[in-house]
Amino acid sequence: MSAPETAPTWPGLDSDVAAYLGNRAMVPMHVAGVEASRAAFEALPQQPGPDMHSVQDRVVEGPHGDLLLRIYRPVDEPDLPAMVYLHGGGLVIGSVRTFDRLARFLAEAARAVVVSVDYRLAPEHPYPVASDETYFAVQWTATNAADLGVDTARIAIGGDSAGAALAAGAALQTRDEGGAPIAFQLHIYGGFERDDTRPSVLEYADGPIITAGDFAWTKDLYLGDDPSKDHPYGVPPLADDLSGLPPAIVLTASHDPSRDGAESFGEQLRDAGVQTALLRYPGVYHGFMMHADDQSRARLAMAELGALMRAKFAVGPGSVAWGLDHC
């Protein structure tokens, strides 16, 4: 199916963002279908991200077979903090390759090792496959911290879009199962829920970049089409109890269907006593952090996010930031 002849416009975008989007009109994923969407995304030109001291691919035996982990080390220093990172793409498209750029930005900004997880995709691998692989990757990173040159007391988890939901689900599972302590959780324009009645969903139903229909479609492909069967590890806002989770950073974009759901989840965390930083960036869209070197708002957001991540790594688990009475 061909793209429409004209693209919609969205008032309030930053000027460089509007120039980047131009008059492009994209075929929504739910219209194009799984294979065409994957092929189009993988074929996008990949701009290089920041240079790393080293980038290493490791294939490990995961809960559902071989699992590729791409490990970014920004500097040659011992005992760096680490972040297990889950890429976006609705759990249907995307890979460590297509999100290489964002992984490098995060490693540089946090001055931390990033372990990017090439989890299996739906619909071939529905819930809980990607969720299982996320939890496994966190525990694997902690177990192999010495080999990775990572400080086991400073391991965080984070993701963008659907990857944020994976990260939040793994934080819940880590709490419930007594897994390795997580320094903090990072959620970049997270797609946490199915609610299609929120104002941001209605206002930005046609994008930019991603549509409300895409969110609903990808959720159905991973979770199934019966919301009554959803589990909190797959849809974290459904959890009855969010207390005792690691501190959170919740970053949202103004022109994004997922904005209100992500911010609502941040408020849920706050209400549960989880120290949570809520950061909304105006004038930008879902996916803008991939442009931290050529869009001014994204550059600012990455600088601020990096400072906040480094501060949280400096404190780590076991501090008053976790609501404990000792440091």
Taking only the tens of pLDDT, the chain with its 327 residues reads 344 445 567 899 999 999 999 877 778 999 999 999 999 999 988 888 999 999 999 999 999 999 999 999 999 999 999 999 999 999 999 999 999 999 999 999 999 999 999 999 999 999 999 999 999 999 999 999 999 999 999 999 999 999 999 999 999 999 999 999 999 999 999 999 999 999 999 999 999 999 999 999 999 999 999 999 999 999 999 999 999 999 999 999 999 999 999 999 999 999 999 999 999 999 999 999 999 999 999 999 999 999 999 999 998 665 544 444 333
Catalytic residues: 161, 256, 286
Cβ neighbours of residue 2 closer than 8 Å, sequence gap 6 or more: 27
What are the tokens at 197? 């009645």
User: Which CATH number among 1.20.120.80, 3.40.50.1820, 3.30.420.10, 3.40.50.2000 corresponds to the domain 15-319?
Assistant: 3.40.50.1820
Cα–Cα distance for residue pair 276/314, rounded to 1 Å: 16
What are the tokens at 300? 């600012």
Give Cα 33 to chain centroid, integer Å. 22
Q: Which helix (H) or strand (E) holds 30?
A: helix 29-32
Q: Where are the domains of the chain?
A: 15-319
Cα–Cα distance for residue pair 19/294, rounded to 1 Å: 12
Cα–Cα distance for residue pair 220/234, rounded to 1 Å: 12
Neighbouring CB atoms inside 10 A of 23's CB total 9
Query: In 3D, which of 134, 119, 118 has the Cα closest to residue 169?
Result: 134
Rounded to 10 degrees, the C-alpha dihedral 187/191/195/201 comes to 100
Spatial contact of 119 and 133, defined as CB atoms under 8 Å apart: yes
Cα–Cα distance for residue pair 208/152, rounded to 1 Å: 39
Neighbouring CB atoms inside 10 A of 268's CB total 16
Cα–Cα distance for residue pair 256/206, rounded to 1 Å: 10
Spatial contact of 103 and 72, defined as CB atoms under 8 Å apart: yes
* Residue 114 burial by Cβ neighbours in a 10 Å radius (0-12, 13-18, 19+): buried
Q: Which residues pair with 71 in a beta bridge?
A: 56, 115
Q: Amino acid letter at 268?
A: Q
In this prediction the pTM is: 0.94
* Residue 279 burial by Cβ neighbours in a 10 Å radius (0-12, 13-18, 19+): middle
What are the tokens at 200? 């941001």
**Cis before 237? omega within 30:** no
